[in-house]
Structure 1
Amino acid sequence: MSTVETVRGPVDTAELGPTLMHEHVFVLSTEHVQNYGAGDWWDEEERVADAVRQLKAVRDRGIRTLVDPTVWGLGRYIPRVRRVAEQVDGLNVIAATGLYSFHELPHQYANRGPGLLIDSDVDPMAEDFVRDLTRGIGDTGVRAAFLKCVVEADGLVPGVERIARAVAHAHRETGAPITVHTNARRETGRLAADFFAKEGVDLTKVVIGHAGDSNDLGYLTELADRGVLLGMDRFGLDGYNGTEDRISTILALAERGYADRMVLSHDAACFIDYFGRPEERAEALQRFAPNWHFNHISDDVLPALRERGLGEDAIRTMMVDNPRRYFGGEGA
């Protein structure tokens, strides 16, 4: 039996079921919330209750696992996520470790590490990632199950490269899989795959996040042929790529035999503080991304794929078998 850690403890990978592979329960800046939200637009109990409502709706559509790559830089706070998860029976939430930065390191790591002001044999960032995976996050007892980093438009600038190297170290030490945020327009998935291959990472355990923002079949099949999983994971964010184009690209890849190299998701959140107050967020999303929510794939995308001829075996491969294999379970 192969197991994977979730916010509520380990589960058999065979029980993961239909999985959304890149979603967030909360994306928040702790300093933003504490200094400007508390006593104004942030109500802890209201936001937790709203998240429970949203995740129950996900579960009721047959989704059984939500993979949450919220790490340092996106506001990971496991006690709040666990409060939500404990109220949604029948839905697994899987937590991540890693660091989300497009450029610079946090000051807390910048001067610590091999050859730096505070010298050490091992990068303390890598040690922290391994601790999250093997001992637990903070004092919560919740263990992360995968790693997250970024290779954005500016590529492997020094801070980003050091984070990615720490992620690779933690992968080699623990076997934990990796999700990397990439920029499809700049095709930085290539940089990520090249880097991780040189670092001795098993590329079959890497998701190239946001690959689905591209419709370039040459770029996508090149990545898939290297063994990585393609994150077709921003459904509803039409500013990056419209739903119809995303669907057509998935169909084209599946027709070429790549259903076993794709995972699906939205990159949505129960609440994200990038858009101001809750009412401002709701108004902005209704205008610019009305389908950017957890249920778009279940309600709209999967029916459209079926209508256009994609078989149930391929859908199960993307939604069930690929996530299970990524987390260490056997494929179908």
Structure 2
Amino acid sequence: MVSGFVRTVQGDVRPGELGVVDAHDHLFFRSPLLPGQELDDVGLARRELAAYAAVGGGTVVQWTPYGLGRRAEELPALAAATGVRIVAATGMHQSAHYAPELLASRADDLAALFVRELTEGIADSGVRAGLIKVAGGFHALDAHARWTMRAAAEAHHATGAPIAVHHELGTGALDVLDLLCGELAVPARRVILGHLNRSPDLVTQREAARSGAYLAFDGPSRANHATDWRMPDAMVALAEAGYADRLLLGGDTTTAGARSVSGGPGMPYLLRRVRPRLVEALGEGTVERVLVGNPAEAFAVDWA
């Protein structure tokens, strides 16, 4: 049995209560990099969650961090209305998503902000975050990434919270592990490496899995990433190498047009289309582990 609790927007729950987990997605997201594509409609978010529940979804982990319109105050009611558990995030994305004055205002207290949102709650919402989201760059870690990852590591050591990492086009995972798990002493099992399906480098994927970190294969159905046809082969290779227990799946819906209720694939696609294809490649038992057992372990914390 998995120990600890998963911190959802409705309170801490036993890991076994999560059901099928979309381990990386967004109900709300606003960024100057995506003008006109904001995820900020509460009614559409409710409909998307209901559509996900209708195909068997039990939990959604929202990776939207501080300053990007995560609408934390809306999340408990959405979870109650749809029966889908929601895990919220603290943390900070790449600098390009923020106004310079916002970054400057957090220069001295970033780790304290993360800890506060994990333990006391996100301002004006009462919702406590259940993970820390940070981001690297394309094949590199710039000063902003190192700053946010140091703050994330400090917050992890204070709370035990997992750290989820955006990798630009799936690159830079080993540099992230060197920093977080080497220099900053975060246990690899507390790190979730996002988007690794976007860089079909099986050697890097194997090395990352060997470290003990979780590999999130997320954002399927995106034409510019060509991930769907690569994903089964990569996951089979990792499973055959003994790393089936390191794998997670997510939808990573980041624009309004990508929602299923707006004509896109959305959250249901993960279970409606991706899951059957993976069952054919990996078998039902392994896919059940990836969707249910692994996320229960990845997001469970003995909260400090």
Q: Same fold (TM over 0.5)?
A: yes
Match of 2:177 among 193, 211, 214: 193
User: Which runs of 5 or more structure 2 residues have no equivalent in the other structure?
Assistant: none
Cα separation, partners in 2 of 1:159 and 1:43, compared to 1, 3 Å: closer
- Match of residue 19 from structure 1: 21
2: CA distance between counterparts of 1:43 and 1:96?
A: 16
- Comparing 246-255 and 217-226, the one that deviates more: 246-255
Contact 1:102 1:150 in 2 (8 A): no
Pair 1:100-2:93 in alignment: yes
* Aligned twin of 1:130: 115
**Over the residues paired in the alignment, what is the CA RMSD in angstroms?**
2.8
Residues 1:199 and 1:257: Cα distance change in structure 2 (over 3 Å): same
* 2:290 alignment partner, one of 318, 322, 327: 318
8 Å CA contact 1:13–1:329 kept in 2: the answer is no
Q: Where do 1:221-300 residues align within 5 Å?
A: 221-269=206-254, 272=255, 290-291=264-265, 293-300=266-273
Partner of 2:166: 181
State the secondary structure of the residue aligned to 1:93.
strand
CA separation in 1, counterparts of 2:235 and 2:67? Answer: 30
User: 2:21, 2:60 within 8 Å by CA — same for their partners in 1?
Assistant: yes
Contact 2:4-2:301 within 8 A present in 1 as well:
yes
| Paired AA for residue 93 in structure 1 | I
CA distance in 1, matches of 2:117, 2:234: 36
**Paired amino acid for 1:27:** F
The AA in structure 1 aligned to 2:179 is F
Q: CA deviation at 1:29?
A: 4.6
Among all aligned residue pairs of Structure 1 and Structure 2, give the percentage whose two residues are the same amino acid: 33
| Higher-Rg member (1/2) | 1
* Shift of residue 73, structure 1, vs aligned partner: 4.4
Contact kept? 1:204, 1:326, Cα under 8 Å: yes
Equivalent position of 2:53 in the other structure: 59
In 2, Cα distance between the equivalents of 1:56 and 1:263? 22
Q: 2:191: which partner in 1?
A: 206
The answer to whether the 8 Å contact 1:264/1:318 transfers is yes
What is the count of residue pairs matched by the alignment? 296
TM-score (norm 1): 0.81
Deviation string for 1:21-71 (max 9, x for gaps)? 0000011259x99xxx8xxx9997xx3222211111111211111000101
Q: Give distance in 1, aligned partners of 2:39 and 2:299.
A: 35
Aligned AA for 2:269?
Answer: H
- Counterparts in 2 of 1:109 and 1:263: CA distance versus 1, 3 Å: same
2:277 is the alignment partner of 1:304: yes
Paired with 1:29 and 1:83, the residues of 2 have a C-alpha distance of 24
Q: Distance in 1 between matches of 2:49 and 2:102?
A: 34
Mark the runs of 5 or more structure 1 residues left unpaired by the alignment. Answer: 114-122
Which amino acid is the alignment partner of residue 8 of structure 2? T
Q: Distance in 1 between matches of 2:71 and 2:39?
A: 16
Q: Aligned partner of 1:124: which letter?
A: D
Corresponding residue for residue 63 of structure 2: 69
> Is 153-162 or 172-181 further displaced after alignment?
153-162
Q: Is the 8 A contact 1:183 1:189 kept in 2?
A: no
CA contact (8 A) 2:10 2:127 kept: yes
The alpha-carbon deviation at position 157 of structure 1 amounts to 1.5
Q: Deviations over 1:72-102 (max 9, x none)?
A: 243222123334223112x100000001124
Q: For 1:105 and 1:318, how far apart are their aligned partners in 2?
A: 37
Q: CA deviation at 1:139?
A: 2.7
Say which SS state the counterpart of residue 27 (structure 1) adopts: coil
* Deviates further, 234-243 or 321-330: 321-330
d(CA) in 2 for partners of 1:29 and 1:245?
A: 29
Taking structure 2 as the reference length, the TM-score comes to 0.88
What code does the residue aligned with 2:200 have? N
* CA displacement, residues 244-301 of structure 1 (integer Å, 9 cap, x when unaligned): 11122112222222111110011015xx36xxxx6xx78xx96xxx54x111121111
